[in-house]
Amino acid sequence: MPGSGSWEIVSIRKKRTLVITCLSSDAMMTAEQVENWARLELPPGSDRGRILGLPWAEARNAGVRMALEGGYAYLFFLDSDIYPLDKQIVLKLIDTGYPVISGLYYQKFHPYFPAAFNMGRDDKGNPVRVPIENFTPGDIVPADFVPAGALLVRRDVLEAAWNKFNKRPFIWGLDTSPVPDGLGGNVPNFSEDYVFSFRVKTYLGIQPHVATGLPAGHETKAIVVPKWVAPMPDYHPLHGVMTARTDVPLKG
């Protein structure tokens, strides 16, 4: 019968989130990564899962399927080399109200651009990525290409993308020849997460965003983080970022 219990269930379902981490076949999460993964604060009824050994695009597609079949309201991809500095990142991304939104992290190689871009064109008219750099930390900014290492996607977008793109919303565009998008054109020769952003905006009319106030570290031999969140000696003063220690903790 309808009552407080059924109201609670409906309330929980509105924010229930599946957190997915994709790993290569020979990769294992370190103890530090598992702790980082487990410390995230999530809405009630949420779950965590790992997908091992699939190509990146197919792993992410498997995550989408799991989220849809499991009845989750959101899917959050958290790559094993991404360290959110705020353990409430999922809750705060949900609260922005944007259907496709990423935390902010930087590329872990020179020149350390933010891993979010807008569309540009080269001299031959080919699509290129233009780094998003002119923002005030804390802004939520639109981006044509957002990474999937700390990406939240709402269920209605997952459903639309799943149906529109023949159960393969993520496809790998890095190829020497054009990659058909299944809709009469080709996708840019970018990685599967940027292709997902491109398709969502181009064919579904949904603008991806980046929450610059929810930064994350990106692990390499060190962790590349925004300069303003880790005031340490700046040995790589490029684009306002630095190479930091590998023990940058979550807040709280």
Determine contact, residues 223/89, Cβ cutoff 8 Å. no
Domains of the chain: 4-244 (3.90.550.40)
Determine contact, residues 29/57, Cβ cutoff 8 Å. no
- State residue 108's pLDDT score: 79
- State residue 163's pLDDT score: 97
Angle between helices 155-164 and 192-204 (to 10 degrees): 90
- State residue 248's pLDDT score: 47
Distance between CA atoms of residues 164 and 183, nearest Å: 9
Distance between CA atoms of residues 134 and 150, nearest Å: 21
Distance between CA atoms of residues 203 and 101, nearest Å: 17
Enumerate residues 6+ apart whose C-beta is below 8 A from 26: none
User: How many CB atoms are located within 10 Å of the residue 25 CB?
Assistant: 8
Nearest Cα to Cα of residue 129 among 119, 139, 142, 114: 119
- State residue 24's pLDDT score: 72
**Which residue has tokens 């990146």?**
56
Task: Give Cα 45 distance to the centre of its chain.
Answer: 21
- State residue 232's pLDDT score: 46
Residues (pLDDT < 70) of the chain are: 1-12, 25-28, 174-179, 181, 187-188, 221-225, 227-252
Q: What does R_g of the chain's alpha carbons equal in angstroms?
A: 18
User: How many CB atoms are located within 10 Å of the residue 89 CB?
Assistant: 25
First CA to last CA across the chain, in angstroms?
Answer: 40
User: How many CB atoms are located within 10 Å of the residue 77 CB?
Assistant: 24
- State residue 134's pLDDT score: 84
141-160: buried (b, 16+ CB within 10 Å) or exposed (e) per residue?
bebbbbbbbbbbbbbebbeb
